[in-house]
Chain A
Amino acid sequence: MSRLVVHVGPPTTATSDFQQALFANADVLAAHSVYLPTSARLELAPNSVCHHHLAWDLAGSPRFRPDIGGWDALEAEIADVEADTVLLSSELLSPGIFSEGIEHRLDERLAALGRDVTILYVVNEQLSLINSSYTQKVKTLTDVAGFAAYAAGVLRRSEGDLERLTGRWQRSTDLAFVAVPVTRLNSPNPLVALLRAAEVSVPEEDLVVGPESATISLGPVAVEAMRLLRVYLHGLNQTLSHDDIAVRRLHRIAARQAKDAGWCETPYWGWPPALAARAAEQFEPSNERFAQDVWQCPWPLPLPVDIPPAHVQLLQLEADELERVHEYIFTLAKRYTAIRSGKRNPGMASPEPV
């Protein structure tokens, strides 16, 4: 039976780099009997192989577009595909394992495709993962509290526990579970590392390097500026949602402008040392169990509890830097209004000095 490899992320583990590299190597992969379905691909990322509509279809999300297709379309598309491997990628599928009501539907959908299923999962230590997921929420203008409150909530709900995140896949007899330490993604790049881990045989020399990573990691000032932007936009529009098309367009522009402003040059690190130590205490035992069960070795990704926090309060900024933050907010707020009203080039004058 041919294989189905499902790369499920999770988010913030170089997923975009992998998906863009898949797109860039589609012909090479096809030549080596790896098929990348066109159904369910994210329409907003045309140069990427990213099957988010599968996750939205499962969850009944309003973002699912039947014209793009979900599981039914995928099943129909690959029914006659003779490739050795069908490869899917969507980091939004990873919560499917613990989301009530979805987990069994995901199992059923995978089984219905009639192939040997391999779940490909990238493992990162939880401090970095939670730090990244926080900045990702800020970057996408999601309603999120300050880092300490956010991280404390994640700890309280045990959301970073690998048993919760992967336990059912680990123990499944219906599929193979392949876990890749995030550190291995650089050897030599995420595409090669993940294909190798999934035992998808493609000569490395045939693969081209994907585009340079366009992912923007927010720095300390950028995090606060974008949090302020979100509050401001919400004040303008009480029904604001990070899922709105205008917000999704805006957050990309906002992240780029934050980078252009030089606010992303140093990485954000939100963990207060005491909270980091608490997190380590909470995660280390289950991490060890995971490593022994899955890799039969000690846990290879030590939790970086000693990284000093790298965040700012806006009030600590110099006056001219703070002024740039104000201009950033008001410029982007105008842009948001223009996007909502359908104008493409709103004329981005800064507010007049008063």
Chain B
Amino acid sequence: MTPRLVVHVGAAQTATTFIQHSLHDNEKVLSDLGVYMPEAGRFEFSAPTILHQNLAWEHLEPERFDAKAGGWDALVAEVEQSPAEVILLSSESLERMTHSTALRETFESQLKRISDDVTILYVVRDQLSYLNSLYNQNVKSLRSTQTFDEYIARISKTDQMNLEKRFRPWYSSSVFEFVAVPFENLVSGNVLYNFLTAARIDVSEDMLEKPRTVPTEPLGPVGVEAARLLGGYLRILDPGFDHRSYAALKLYRAAARKARENGWCNDSFWGWDQDLAQALAAREKDSNARFARSVWGPEGRLDLPMHKPQRTARLVDQSAETLSLVHRFVGTMSRRYLNLISGAGPARSRRPGKAEHDGTETDAAEDYEDDI
């Protein structure tokens, strides 16, 4: 008999980092409960965490796949040696395996190699909050310098916000149990406990270690604009700028800390204006309704926060004092970037090893590749 397999597939920006850090910190507790979190496929850049990004990259981004960290073959072999009753995998990048029929079929066949009792656990956020958060993260990690509207326009050309289309095949699968957890429920109280409970892993809340980290703060309106400005500046300064380079990864964490110190994370960014929000709501209305009814029953609903007021900023409207801070922020961070790429460190390395990690705040979601 195969063990039960629980696969946490995100979504990104749904406390995934917090969950993955907490899973690592509770590895012993979970092991005592018969839960095993395989070594194969783990991503080694982040601080101690349980993050199986390599499994996703094997199919989605072969150039990022690290053979030494192992892929699906290594995972199958490792699980065969484990006496555990439950195998737990976590990677928000696996969500992208739902983006096409071919990818889904590949994903399913890999899962079937491990178990015939698979739970796919997905944390659901309404699309407005989700995209707002994803955008914020993309800007913060210097991945994108687009405006919010440009970003949404790009995503709107795809149907990847369509939950029904992506998850319908699993609603009534005989092999795959699909568990959709509303984000609000997950973060109400003890996140790890809620997560494990949703995964049908019996644990008592007081057995779990206290959280090591708090979820990373998103940028506020001025922070978003300042980070976009920094991203554009760096790309002119260094035409070879790569947001995945070691220098860029280190820099954005430093920039995020500085943004917080500057008070640019004290209020929350909300990029949606009413028209844009209504356009998305109209498009996803039917799909959301079918998804919610199918996964949560006849009363299930996935409501969008339609009336949340837009909270964005234009730098040009800021006070001289704020603009001065912005100038210094960009100047300081660009100098820091130059030091990083000219220093003895592996500035241009795309795949730094664990030893190179600076030990500062990490966020696995920050490495999420939202190619939507």
A binds B: yes
Chain A residues within an 8 Å CB radius of B239: 146, 313
Q: Cβ of B372 < 8 Å from any Cβ of A?
A: no
Closest to B327 in A: A330
Q: In terms of DSSP, what is the predominant structure of the interface of chain A? A: helix
Asked whether, in the complex, the Cβ of B324 is within 8 Å of the Cβ of A351, the reply is: yes
Closest to B145 in A: A235
Q: Cβ of B236 < 8 Å from any Cβ of A?
A: yes
Asked whether, in the complex, the Cβ of A238 is within 8 Å of the Cβ of B320, the reply is: no
Chain B residues within an 8 Å CB radius of A236: 229, 315-316, 323, 326
Q: Cβ of A156 < 8 Å from any Cβ of B?
A: no
Q: Cβ of B232 < 8 Å from any Cβ of A?
A: yes
Given contacts A228-B237, A232-B330, A351-B331, contact A237 B232 (CB under 8 A): no
Closest to B231 in A: A235
Q: Mark B225-268, 1 if CB is under 8 A from A, else 0.
A: 10011001101111100000000000000000000000000000
Chain B residues within an 8 Å CB radius of A315: 237-238, 338, 341
Q: Cβ of B328 < 8 Å from any Cβ of A?
A: yes
- CB of B39 to closest CB in A, whole Å: 39
Asked whether, in the complex, the Cβ of B232 is within 8 Å of the Cβ of A340, the reply is: no
- CB of A40 to closest CB in B, whole Å: 33
Asked whether, in the complex, the Cβ of A326 is within 8 Å of the Cβ of B229, the reply is: no
Within 8 A of B (CB), among A207-247: 224, 227-228, 231-232, 234-239
Across the interface, A232 reaches (CB within 8 A) one of B232, B316, B328, B341, namely B232
Asked whether, in the complex, the Cβ of B335 is within 8 Å of the Cβ of A354, the reply is: yes
Q: Cβ of B332 < 8 Å from any Cβ of A?
A: yes
Cα–Cα, bound, A224→B237 (Å): 8
Asked whether, in the complex, the Cβ of B236 is within 8 Å of the Cβ of A231, the reply is: yes
Cα–Cα, bound, A326→B326 (Å): 13
Closest to B237 in A: A314
Q: Cβ of B212 < 8 Å from any Cβ of A?
A: no
Cα–Cα, bound, A315→B147 (Å): 27
Q: Cβ of A133 < 8 Å from any Cβ of B?
A: no
Asked whether, in the complex, the Cβ of B314 is within 8 Å of the Cβ of A238, the reply is: yes
Given contacts A313-B239, A334-B327, contact A326 B334 (CB under 8 A): yes
Cα–Cα, bound, A322→B330 (Å): 14
Asked whether, in the complex, the Cβ of B315 is within 8 Å of the Cβ of A227, the reply is: no
Given contacts A330-B327, A334-B327, A337-B320, contact A237 B236 (CB under 8 A): no
Within 8 A of A (CB), among B58-112: none
Cα–Cα, bound, A22→B285 (Å): 68
Q: Mark A312-354, 1 if CB is under 8 A from B, else 0.
A: 0111000100110010001001100100100000000001101
Cα–Cα, bound, A84→B314 (Å): 56
Chain B contact residue count (CB 8 A cutoff) = 28
Asked whether, in the complex, the Cβ of B233 is within 8 Å of the Cβ of A334, the reply is: no
Asked whether, in the complex, the Cβ of B232 is within 8 Å of the Cβ of A337, the reply is: no
The size bracket of the interface on A is 20 to 34
Cα–Cα, bound, A334→B280 (Å): 39
Cα–Cα, bound, A238→B147 (Å): 9
Q: Mark A233-266, 1 if CB is under 8 A from B, else 0.
A: 0111111000000000000000000000000000
Of the listed residues A146, A235, A354, the one surrounded by the most CB atoms of chain B closer than 10 A to its CB is A235
- CB of A245 to closest CB in B, whole Å: 15
Chain A residues within an 8 Å CB radius of B330: 232, 330
Asked whether, in the complex, the Cβ of A237 is within 8 Å of the Cβ of B316, the reply is: yes
Across the interface, B315 reaches (CB within 8 A) one of A237, A314, A326, A354, namely A237
Cα–Cα, bound, A314→B338 (Å): 11
Given contacts A326-B334, A326-B335, A351-B327, contact A231 B315 (CB under 8 A): no
Chain B residues within an 8 Å CB radius of A235: 145, 225, 228-229, 232-233, 315
Within 8 A of A (CB), among B310-369: 314-316, 320, 323-324, 326-328, 330-332, 334-335, 338, 341
Across the interface, A340 reaches (CB within 8 A) one of B225, B316, B326, B331, namely B316
- CB of A38 to closest CB in B, whole Å: 37
Cα–Cα, bound, A322→B339 (Å): 12
Asked whether, in the complex, the Cβ of A231 is within 8 Å of the Cβ of B328, the reply is: no
Chain B residues within an 8 Å CB radius of A314: 236-238
Chain A residues within an 8 Å CB radius of B233: 228, 231-232, 235
Asked whether, in the complex, the Cβ of A333 is within 8 Å of the Cβ of B327, the reply is: yes
Chain A residues within an 8 Å CB radius of B326: 236
Cα–Cα, bound, A13→B191 (Å): 69
Chain B residues within an 8 Å CB radius of A234: 232
- CB of B314 to closest CB in A, whole Å: 7
Chain A residues within an 8 Å CB radius of B328: 351-352, 354
Closest to B228 in A: A235
- CB of A338 to closest CB in B, whole Å: 9
Cα–Cα, bound, A314→B147 (Å): 26
Chain A residues within an 8 Å CB radius of B236: 224, 227-228, 231, 314
Q: Mark A91-124, 1 if CB is under 8 A from B, else 0.
A: 0000000000000000000000000000000000
Of the listed residues B145, B238, B334, the one surrounded by the most CB atoms of chain A closer than 10 A to its CB is B334
Cα–Cα, bound, A202→B314 (Å): 56
Chain A residues within an 8 Å CB radius of B232: 231-232, 234-235
Within 8 A of B (CB), among A175-202: none
> Which residues of A are at the interface with B, using a C-beta cutoff of 8 A?
146, 224, 227-228, 231-232, 234-239, 313-315, 319, 322-323, 326, 330, 333-334, 337, 340, 351-352, 354
Q: List 18 A-B contacts (CB under 8 A).
A: A224-B236, A228-B233, A228-B236, A231-B233, A232-B330, A234-B232, A235-B225, A235-B228, A235-B233, A313-B239, A315-B341, A322-B338, A330-B327, A334-B323, A334-B324, A337-B316, A351-B328, A352-B328
Given contacts A146-B239, A236-B229, A322-B338, 16 further A-B contacts (CB under 8 A): A227-B236, A231-B232, A232-B229, A232-B232, A235-B233, A313-B239, A314-B236, A314-B238, A315-B237, A326-B334, A330-B331, A334-B324, A337-B320, A351-B328, A352-B328, A354-B331
The 10 A-B residue pairs whose C-beta atoms are closest, nearest first, are A235-B229, A237-B316, A354-B332, A330-B327, A236-B315, A228-B236, A231-B232, A231-B236, A351-B327, A235-B232
> Which residues of B are at the interface with A, using a C-beta cutoff of 8 A?
145, 147, 225, 228-229, 232-233, 235-239, 314-316, 320, 323-324, 326-328, 330-332, 334-335, 338, 341
